[in-house]
Structure 1
Amino acid sequence: MSLTMGSGPLVGTRRGSFDDGTRISEHPLYLEELDRRVRGYVGGRLVVDAAAPRLLHQDGQLPRWWFDRSAVDEDLLTPTDRTREDPALGTVRSWDLHVGERTVQDAAEDVPDPAPGLPPLAGLVAVGFDALDRWLEEDDEVIGHPRDPYHRVDTRRSSDTVVVRVGREVVAESTRPVKLFETGLPVRWYLPPEDVRSAFLSPSLTRTICPYKGIASYWSLTVGDRVVPDGAWTYADPLGEALQVRGFLSFLGEGVEVEVRRAA
């Protein structure tokens, strides 16, 4: 379960409920130490090397790594006088990144004077995921954003019949779909390409990145004079939790209907 996204327990839209003795603040925070090495690079230059990074969960935001200052190269990352006010963290100071001729403003942040009651952020710095070129957890590359240890992706084969229509036209129909469950998100159905009418598909340049499933490529759906941009997608080389949907297609978009007929 993701703590702070979707329907997680620390979000106002959570599905569950707490007992009367449990109080959740308006802006809940949860900081935990990870037992995995995290490294970050710009080009081939090592900027971050942390043996025990922290992961901060904040209401409605993606998780962020925070590092001991000793784990970042302070010859490359330097604090500035620029600040912003965060409703949960208070005054947050920006750091700039300088590598050779390359400068990235606001590449990192810290909380110089954490208020009482905050998690122990003193002496820690958060480096923006997109500020660096490459991140590794141990020796595996991380894409998109830091992975939430409470976020799950599960896939299950199904014998239900799934029919995908655009208007009255059947675009795909399968009795061997794979059902994908992802924390805080609606169930998605993935259909084998043999059960999809490829004449309705045209490749799109759109790509999206998911740290749990991998990189998705898209197709637009064209039925008569109706076009659904990026109405179908697939993971050609999915990450471990999504291996069962490799090459399968899922559908979503305005005018796309996904009908599920339960197997007997």
Structure 2
Amino acid sequence: MALTIGSAPFGSTPSGTFNFDPAPPEHVLYLEPSPRRVRVRLGEETVANSTGVRLLHLSGQTPIYLFPREDVRADLFTTSDTKVNAPGLGEASHWTVSVGERTAEDGAYSYEQPPSSLAGVAGLVAFDWDAMDAWFEEDEEVFVHPRDPYHRIDVLRSSRHVVVRWGDTVVADSTQPRMLLESSLPPRWYLPAEDVRTDLLAPSYTATRCPYKGVAQYRTLRDGDRFDDDVVWSYPEPMHDAEAVGGLLCFDDARLDVQVREGTR
């Protein structure tokens, strides 16, 4: 599971209990080596390419790739005056990264003098994720943020009875859902289209991307003049461990009434 996010052991709202008081610091930081080759591109250039990447986990945040200085194209860097203090890490020095006409202002940074408890961070180089054009683990492109090696997805077939109501309208009724369990997140129930009032679903232009599940396409519930935008989504071509929910429909239980009852088996 993700170690420092949400309901994870060192997240803000851990769901479990320890048999001791770990008394974690206010800002939990965990640095570990990654076995993956990681590359970063800006424009037409690879600005970092390393098999010695470190992965830094921070409280309440997704991990950060840190690169050894020798694996970074420092010749593309221009020193910036920007200095930013990060809790538990100290002051970060920044560089602007330039490739041809592409410029990522303050796109790279490093903690030169971190506290002694995390001395292994010193001198390693990080990049602003959104300022770069593409990221790869081995030869596979990675989107949104680095993949957390402790993040897991399980999809389970179930015979529980799931009923979804939109006000007084039943929009889905299924005894063949699939339960998607994702680290540090609440369970999600994905239902086959045959158990859904698809006549109430209207296309949406909204799409989001998950580094673990792929691209989600959204739909709006619409009935005459009544509508609720982007409360239903699906993964037409899910990635890896989420393949079992491909094409199934999931409903936003924060905006709709999703009732899960005991199954018939």
Query: TM-score with structure 2 length normalisation?
Result: 0.94
Contact map agreement 1:181 1:188 (CA 8 A) in 2: yes
1:149 aligns to what SS in structure 2?
coil
1:9-67 residue CA offsets vs partner (Å, 9 max, x unmatched): 22242223345463411111000001110111123311110112010000011111000
Task: Tell me what 2:156 maps to.
Answer: 156
CA distance 1:69–1:258, shift in 2 (3 Å): same
- Residues 43, 103 of structure 1: alpha-carbon distance in 2 compared, 3 angstrom cutoff: closer
Partner of 1:57: 57
Taking the aligned partners of 1:227 and 1:192, their CA distance within structure 2 comes to 22
Alignment check: 8 A CA contact 2:232 2:250 kept: yes
Cα distance in structure 1, aligned partners of 2:27 and 2:241: 31
Give the secondary structure class of the aligned counterpart of 2:130. helix
SS in structure 2 at match of 1:110: strand
Gaps of 5+ in 1: none
1:147 paired to 2:147:
yes
Q: Percent identity?
A: 48
Unpaired runs of at least 5, structure 2: none
Aligned residue runs from structure 1 range 20-31, under 5 A: 20=20, 22-31=22-31
> Which residue of the partner structure matches residue 8 of structure 1?
8
Is 1:72 aligned with 2:72?
A: yes
For the residue of structure 2 that corresponds to 1:118, the secondary structure is helix
State the TM-score, normalizing by the size of structure 1: 0.95
Amino acid paired to 2:134? R
Distance, in Å, in 2 between the alignment partners of 1:134 and 1:255 is 34
Counterpart amino acid of 1:100?
G
Q: Amino acid of the residue matched to residue 215 of structure 1?
A: V
**Matches of 2:255 and 2:133 in 1, distance apart?**
38
Q: What is the root-mean-square deviation in Å for CA atoms of aligned residues?
A: 1.6
Aligned to 1:217: 217
Change in CA separation of 1:261 and 1:15 when aligned onto 2, cut-off 3 Å: closer
Superposed, 1:1-264 pairs within 5 Å as 1-20=1-20, 22-252=22-252, 255-264=255-264
Equivalences, count: 264
Shift of 1:116: 2.0
d(CA) in 2 for partners of 1:47, 1:224: 53
Counterpart CA distance in 1 for 2:74 and 2:197 is 55
Equivalents in 1 of 2:21, 2:145: separation in Å? 34
Deviations 1:128-185 (A, max 9, x none): 2212211111111111110000111110111112111101111122221111000111
Q: Which moved more, 1:137-146 or 1:13-22?
A: 13-22
Contact kept in structure 1, 2:37 and 2:137, CA below 8 Å: yes
**Partner amino acid for 1:164?**
V
Cα distance in 2 for partners of 1:26, 1:49 equals 33
Aligned-partner Cα distance in 1 for 2:105–2:10: 31
Deviation per residue, 1:86-111 (Å, 9 max, x gap): 12211112221111112111212111
Q: Partner amino acid for 1:120?
A: G
